């Protein structure tokens, strides 16, 4: 479970996203970070039971830094107002389909799939959809996927990707630039003692989806 003080810190940061406030609350940040690392470590241990690629992943390699790169950003706020962790081979630096935990008051969620994949991997995914997209369609239209994640999410192109047939039966899948399964969490669920257990249940439900994407990108499968 996540401690209430961790959500309270993030709420305070959202209201006071500046270096002065952050520095005055550095101890609270360190405690919140340690709390997040502990929960992510528990998730990694559990996920490693059914996906050997994540075994031994240090939580620090899974977690994104809270400091924002504002050099080219319109939003000059120096800090992210959430914690995020990628549970996958090589953690946040992976190019595999992922398990992701996002902690943000009022907007926490679990996710799987690929977000902003490298161009080469997006081409491989679209190529796989072109020739055997019915397999992915069956997964995302399945009762289990719909129950746990609703519809497939992620950014899409408005028209048809160059080189693909607009009449292709999986044209809606081909339009995707990101392919994401997302399960939203309430603050009550995040603070619950059953958080890790419930998260791992959702991550297990993502296996067919992630394995299809990893096969398309010629990555190792879960085991």
pLDDT digits (tens, 9 = 90+) for 109-165: 999 999 999 999 999 999 999 999 999 999 999 999 999 999 999 999 999 999 999
Residue ranges in the chain assigned as alpha helix (H): 4-15, 19-24, 26-47, 59-62, 119-140, 143-149, 171-174, 187-190, 195-205, 207-216
Q: What is the pLDDT of residue 69?
A: 85
Q: What is the pLDDT of residue 72?
A: 73
Q: What is the pTM of this model?
A: 0.95
Q: What is the pLDDT of residue 223?
A: 64
In the chain, which stretches have pLDDT less than 70?
223
Q: What is the pLDDT of residue 174?
A: 97
* Best CA proximity match to 59, nearest among 81, 48, 43: 43
Q: What is the pLDDT of residue 184?
A: 98
């Amino acid at each position: 479970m996540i401690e209430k003080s961790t959500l309270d810190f993030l709420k305070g940061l959202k209201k006071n996203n500046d270096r002065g406030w952050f520095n005055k609350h550095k101890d609270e940040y360190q405690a919140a970070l340690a709390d997040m690392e502990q929960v992510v470590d528990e998730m990694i241990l559990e996920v490693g039971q059914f996906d050997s690629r994540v075994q031994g992943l240090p939580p620090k390699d899974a977690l994104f830094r809270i400091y924002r790169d504002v050099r080219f950003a319109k939003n000059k706020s120096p800090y992210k107002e959430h914690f995020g962790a990628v549970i996958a081979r090589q953690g946040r630096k992976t190019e595999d389909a992922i398990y992701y935990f996002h902690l943000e008051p009022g907007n926490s969620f679990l996710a799987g799939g690929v977000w902003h994949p490298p161009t080469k991997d997006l081409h491989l995914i679209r190529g796989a959809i072109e020739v055997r997209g019915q397999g992915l369609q069956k997964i995302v239209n399945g009762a289990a996927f719909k129950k746990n994640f609703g519809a497939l999410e992620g950014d899409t192109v408005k028209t048809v990707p160059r080189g693909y047939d607009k009449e292709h039966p999986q044209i809606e899948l081909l339009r995707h630039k990101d392919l994401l399964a997302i399960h939203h969490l309430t603050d009550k669920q995040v603070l619950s003692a059953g958080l890790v257990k419930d998260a791992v249940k959702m991550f297990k439900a993502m296996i067919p989806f992630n394995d299809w994407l990893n096969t398309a990108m010629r990555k190792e499968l879960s085991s």
